[in-house]
Amino acid sequence: MFRTVKVKLPFEQSLFQTAVAFNKACQMVLDYGSTHKTYNKGKLNKATYRQVRDVVPNLPSALVQTARDEASEMLLRTDFAKIVKKRLSVRYDNRCFKFYPDSNYVSLTTVHGRLNFPFKHYGYLDTWRGDYTNAQLIIRRNRAFLNVQVEVHDVEKKVARKVLGIDRGILNIAVCSDNTFFNSKRLRAVKGRYQYLKRRLQHIGTRSAHRKLQRLSGRERRFVLDTNHCISKAIVNKPFDVFALEKLQITRKKKNGKRFNRLLGSWSPNELNRFIEYKAESRGKVNVPVNPYKSSQRCSRCGFVHRWNRHGLRFRCGNCGFELNADLNASRNIEVLGKSEYLRLFVNEPIVASNEASPTEVVDGSYKLPLSRGSS
Ligand SMILES: [Zn+2]
């Protein structure tokens, strides 16, 4: 099974210049191939190798070859159309890069020879260990990223991971599918107090009242921040490997509306999501965002969906009679959604973002970049 891990590299001229040279080489092969209607690697190599070396003399020959391979695959995909490689990227095979996740650096062949580039270590690098077979350097808006393809060997162990569903609401900040409730009682009480004080100070309107108001806002903000930190930490420390959460909402959900605002003010569910995500990642655990569509109307026992199933805080199934706390029922649905979403990610995720992203070779549902072998 193949996975891709992505790391951010320092944006250095050596990388940028390598990508520019690589694109130039790739383009020359593309032009030749579309004019002469061939994607045969041997033919392309014979016809273009010398010319490419003359035009970009400092591009190492291993990269001239991967540029040719990439061009050949693009020609095959596009049926010899005249294409321009716009995206700045470099393909690396196992001869021209070496990835060291324990020492946090990668060694890459560049136009200035073989160089080492550091990156930051994140937990997911430990989750996806295996043989590092291919890589792709991507340069975008003065930033450099490396997608590294990993061949993971002990897949079964990883698929059978435990999934925790998390639902967020008003009376409960978060409810987990393992029956844990994080209620918002204290949050609401403290926020209520601040709101009362703020209203009074606004009413007074003197300069010192204004200063006090600002101090109060800062304190309130830190209290909310701290609450989110505590809850997210408690959740990710649970003995689960996969956390299923509702997808981040860009704007506040309609159903929350006024009532939500009155009760929780500036409290942001998105912030809690972000905290859970990065804390989970730093522990080598996985996040799966799910679409929570109808998760509060669906029966977590029989799957019956109806809006009348929900009676305020209580969930009562009109089909099988199952009764449960409504938020807990929703979190169990999110767990199920998370499980299937997680498995789907496993099987179908298009791995290395190849240039125009269509898989060239599909083996057992996982995508493998063909390695260049043979000629030149
Ligand atoms: Zn039911």
Q: How much distance in Å is there from the Cα of 257 to the middle of ligand 1?
A: 29
**What 3-state DSSP class applies to 56?**
coil
Q: How much distance in Å is there from the Cα of 164 to the middle of ligand 1?
A: 21
Q: How much distance in Å is there from the Cα of 320 to the middle of ligand 1?
A: 4
CA distance 157 to 168: 30
250: its two tokens: 């860009």
Per-residue pLDDT in tens (0 to 9) along the chain, 376 residues: 677 888 999 999 999 999 999 999 999 999 999 999 988 999 999 999 999 999 999 999 999 999 999 999 888 888 888 888 889 999 999 899 999 998 999 999 999 999 999 998 877 788 778 889 899 999 998 899 999 988 877 655 555 578 999 998 778 889 999 999 998 888 888 888 888 888 888 888 888 988 988 888 888 888 888 999 999 999 999 989 899 998 866 554 455 555 555 555 566 678 888 899 888 888 878 888 898 888 889 999 988 898 888 888 899 999 898 999 999 999 999 999 998 888 776 654 444 433 333 333 333 333 333 333 333 3
Q: Is 322 exposed, middle or buried (0-12, 13-18, 19+ CB in 10 A)?
A: middle
49: its two tokens: 């190798």
Residues 6+ apart with CB under 8 A from 374: 41, 42
CA distance 64 to 41: 12
Q: For residue 305, which phi and psi values (nearest 5 degrees)?
A: -115, 125
CA distance 162 to 232: 18
Q: How much distance in Å is there from the Cα of 74 to the middle of ligand 1?
A: 51
Q: What share of the chain is helix, strand, coil (3-state, %, to 5)?
A: 45, 25, 35
Q: How much distance in Å is there from the Cα of 317 to the middle of ligand 1?
A: 5
Which pLDDT score, from 0 to 100, does residue 160 have? 55
Q: How much distance in Å is there from the Cα of 306 to the middle of ligand 1?
A: 10
Pair 270, 314: CB distance under 8 Å: no
Q: How much distance in Å is there from the Cα of 247 to the middle of ligand 1?
A: 25
> 53, 67, 59: which is closest to 23 by C-alpha?
67
Pair 173, 23: CB distance under 8 Å: no
Q: Which helix (H) or strand (E) holds 147?
A: strand 143-151
Q: How much distance in Å is there from the Cα of 17 to the middle of ligand 1?
A: 61
Q: How much distance in Å is there from the Cα of 178 to the middle of ligand 1?
A: 19
Q: How much distance in Å is there from the Cα of 309 to the middle of ligand 1?
A: 9
CA distance 57 to 67: 14
Sign of CA dihedral 275, 280, 281, 287: negative
